[in-house]
Structure 1
Amino acid sequence: MNDAELAAHLARIAGRILLEVRDSGVFEGKALGNAGDETANEFLVHALRAARPDDGLLSEEEKDDTSRLAKSRVWIVDPVDGTREYGENREDWAVHIGLSIDGVATTGAVALPGLDGGVVLHTDQVSPLPEPAAKPRFLVSRTRPAKEAVAVAEAMGGELVGMGSAGAKAMAVVRGEAEVYLHSGGQYEWDSCAPVAVAHAHGLHCSRIDGKPIRYNRANTYLPDLLICRKELADEVLALVAGL
């Protein structure tokens, strides 16, 4: 199978594993989040190394092997994006499997196992974007909305929609449940590589909040901000952020 098919296949299986861990009733709260992270990570790391042994690998739950920096192809994985939401039995968490090629989020899959029936979006299966809402909807953290998002939403007459994981937010834009995901509160490469690959494949604008490209497979994996939105809104959003 090709890279996108592999990413989608593994994301779907990891999602099923996570649901089984959650439904076992053995763990609750933070312990559930930790168990899910560890179990899904073990599966994904072993599967990717078996399927693509020559590629690099970066996972949130794995000690960083800096040999990846010398590789062109690097898989960037978040076994459970939104560990808190997963531990709270919410639906807004995700599994991220992204492939960076020469620093660009090129291929990937994001699974949303908590949704009814489970949903996997990936770069080889692209659907047209639904029609946007009359007032742009801005996805923000449930607990710490980014001040830039709040200010830009107000300036554009938009509304704020609280949601959990970064992957769930990005896929909500892909699925037509919102128009803008503007984040400035700090993230890491595994939080956005797969979502950016999928969002870009669906025709969305993806950049840093200053308009610069998002780069991956760096020595410092901290990636503090990003913008994923409909292309027709990108210039206005970026201009408003620049004026803050």
Structure 2
Amino acid sequence: MPETDLPLLIDAAREAGKIATRYSGRDARRWDKPQGAGPVTEADLAVNAMLEQRLPAARPGYGWLSEETEDNPDRLTRDRVFIIDPIDGTRSFAEGSSTWAHSLAVAEHGQVIAGVIYLPLRDLLFAAQRGGGATLNGQPIRATRVLSESEAEVLAAKPSLDPRHWKDARPPLFRRAYQPSLAYRMALVAQGRFDGMLTLRPSWEWDIAAGDLILREAGGQCSDRAGDRLRFNNPNPRLNGVVAAGPRLHDLLIRRLAPPADQDLPA
């Protein structure tokens, strides 16, 4: 990996923050995407335009995958690919919240090698490169080592505790909390503020890629709901949910989850 990949992502994320914060979330023009794909604002598009010009120009051999760019299968032929969510938590942005984030990653042969999650309104910049550890605003961070589910506080949407998701219809005993940005949830687990996070519905790669590496470099584990390691730059860029936590708690949650009998069950 070129030594400059992580600084490139950090600089681009900070520039993204400058652009996004020029818009007032509640006043930014907003549209609903077709087929119930969620909202998009003029800030999402402005950030995406900057990133799509800046990052491929700096790395012309890399592919491109972004929530706000029409997918191009050419990315599947590239060894390395940018995986970008210009604003993760668009609904929060539009409501005037401070919990939305920019999520930028580079994957190589299906594994993330550099990642940044940046919350400009909270001045929080989470970053990692493969083998280099994870940081928050330049300081090392570590995931927790909780040993039992009853001790744990886990970020998850309420439907994740539906008994149908769990063996013997017994949801785990952890304390549940929630944040709307999936990228921020993963970063909070890497930071050690929460012990784990899970989402059991199919999840887009751009929400997850940067957080996957940051959490792993912070000593945590991250997988899909079946316990399989996440791979990125797939033809269909959706993953089979995400379970992320310290090693012991991650294993406990995976063992407790039931096989997904109904892919449409909300989580």
Structure 1's 145 and 36: CA in aligned 2 closer, same or farther, altered over 3 A?
farther
Give the number of aligned pairs: 238
Identity of aligned residues (%): 25
Further displaced range: 199-208 or 131-140: 131-140
Q: What residue is the counterpart of 1:205 in the other structure?
A: 221
- The reply on whether 1:17 has 2:19 as its aligned counterpart is yes
CA distance in 1, matches of 2:248, 2:109: 28
Higher helix proportion:
1
1:129 corresponds to which letter in structure 2? R
Equivalent position amino acid for 1:233 in 2: L
Report the CA distance between 1:146 and its aligned residue: 2.0
- TM-score norm. by structure 2 comes to 0.81
Pick from 167, 173, 176: which aligns with 1:157?
173
- Note the C-alpha offset of 1:157: 2.7
Q: Paired residue for 1:99, among 98, 106, 127?
A: 106
Contact 2:145 2:247 in 1 (8 A): no
Where structure 2 has 5 or more consecutive residues not aligned to the other structure, the ranges are 33-38, 261-267
Q: Secondary structure at the match of 2:151?
A: coil
User: Is the CA contact (8 Å cut-off) linking 1:75 and 1:100 kept in structure 2?
Assistant: yes
Contact 1:96–1:110 under 8 Å retained in 2: yes
Q: Tell me the residue number matched to 2:185.
A: 169
2:208 to 187, 192, 195: 192
Q: Name the counterpart of 2:86.
A: 79
The match for 1:113 among 110, 116, 120 is 120
Preserved contact between residue 30 and residue 87 of structure 1 (Cα < 8 Å): no
> CA contact under 8 A between 2:92 and 2:100: conserved in structure 1?
yes
Runs of 4+ that moved beyond 6 A: none
Hey, what does 2:28 align to over in structure 1? Answer: 27
Structure 1 distance, partners of 2:99, 2:240, is 21
Question: Does 1:51 find its partner at 2:58?
Answer: yes
Residue number among 90, 95, 107 corresponding to 2:97 in the alignment = 90
RMSD, aligned CA? 2.5
In the TM superposition, residue 191 of structure 1 has moved relative to its aligned partner by 1.1
Separation in 2, partners of 1:98, 1:241: 29
Aligned partner of 1:8 in structure 2 is: 10
The separation in 1 between residues aligned to 2:49 and 2:97, in whole angstroms, is 23
Cα distance, 1:226 vs structure 2: 1.0
User: Which residue is equivalent to 1:145?
Assistant: 159
Which secondary structure does the structure 2 equivalent of 1:146 belong to? helix
d(CA) in 2 for partners of 1:209 and 1:15?
32
Q: Distance in 2 between matches of 1:68 and 1:28?
A: 30
Question: Residues 30 and 84 of structure 1 are in contact (CA less than 8 Å); yes or no, is this contact kept in structure 2?
Answer: no
TM-score, normalised relative to structure 1:
0.88
Structure 2 residue corresponding to 1:70, chosen from 72, 77, 80? 77
